[in-house]
Structure 1
């Protein structure tokens, strides 16, 4: 059964809060002697209360004489019920907003994530809607009478292959003609622009193209465009910020976190859950399966467009001992600033 603040005495709450605060500030277990400077009690009395908090699963002692540090359960209790949020300083707010001045949304997102990473001393993460690719070339390779491999090359050098069904009677010559038409007349357009022009040209009979082949390509361009717009791009910045003075003591955890940050599909799956909520979400250690081994925390919030639709998520990933009181409002402010930028 999870512990509640109401289950703790006033003395227990006071000492618990001081232990967690000191641990988050110093990144090291806290001893009873050090707490005498914060709490007007004797070391023996403090040790007794700390032992009780340990028995309740809120504190743990990594070594016999190393002092206590909060467990993940203790951190969750502190974050949800005791933490006093710190509004981002005016300089911090200005630094974040300055990164949003770029006319290019992708550049603004990258710059803002890099700034958030530096300010929080964590790795910054953001998801952004994928911009629709511009078409360069289209080719078909017949596989059999009912299927062909469509190869689409984007202006950015990207290549996408899809197996497409062929209407009965579609000839290789017709496919070649429509491919030449697309590569010659539609190159440089976005997929939605290319689809619109193709349908208009066929309607106006400007091009003598096989109707079935043209309809196939127009529908394909529409589907590809929708698929690309629906995909999100994950940007990760500031991994080096995770290598601080304390990381040397937990090199295995840091190594594990770096490996986890390479698993973009899993990070995207985690952030997908943030899209459905309101405001900042906080995942501490093993509360999220992905970062359970590294013992890391994720703080993230969604941002919206002019239609109040969630279009992405921004946040940070760092050790569980990060300064939640400072970082949580910082992530919240950044998400709000991004929303204003998107409007």
Structure 2
């Protein structure tokens, strides 16, 4: 394990605690940070558009704020459009979702207000590039088109707040969710909705049912798909564990895209990566390597893991703890909760993290 070292670059967002960040899929030196005043408990939000100056991926102070957009409530998440180079969607504490054009100077170009509580996650589909999804503390997940005034689909199959949602990078119709009830769920948007019975015998609104439900342990705060291995998902939760799941083990087949389940193995992760001292707030698979996974935690650290080493450890009956060879990097330069993390899409091995210390850092995955 490589010892901690200072960041390659850092940028301060004075008075606004970072909540998550996202690298532009179009511009190699641009990223955005969603942030909130007063740690997101009360007050305004701010969307920061940051850029990396010349030499920013070498030791230099190259990360800087290029533009800011203020909101009336805290921002908890964001996602760049996969179809329009200047558009970003944000998730807000007042239940609203806003679409911004960073080439403009002030107001959002779209605003949706269907969620009734905090929106905690948004994710843009990188195959079916015209849609994105949101999840909320109101226990619902919604799918949107930026040109539509109302949502396309509402999923009401959860019984607790939905902290995370993410489309598969391999199949545009598969959507995974992580919930406060401790489960990872997989939905196939091609499946027909079902109608159940609500309170007092009333007919409940149609909704999609999951094609797989896995007990993770603790509240599931985050998830991410492996970019190279279909149906491989990582989760982070309040039980302090980073877990990797092979969803082929949990499902019997959806349409013609998913393979036959493996009896008896569907409810177990293929790797359990242990080392964080508090809840895991964010996980992110590398866009350049199938075996590398980054995580961010309330223990004020970010870490990089070798998933393959974790799988080998699990197969031998030993979860991958810090000294087992699965943990490749501990980054501890933040001084508050680390709640957002993302790999550069263009600079291999470059990671950005954002924290409640009102700083966003760039650092190398391998030191």
Normalised by the shorter chain, which TM-score bucket? under 0.3
**Which structure features the higher share of helix residues?**
1
The two structures have a TM-score, normalised by structure 2, of 0.24
The two structures have a TM-score, normalised by structure 1, of 0.25
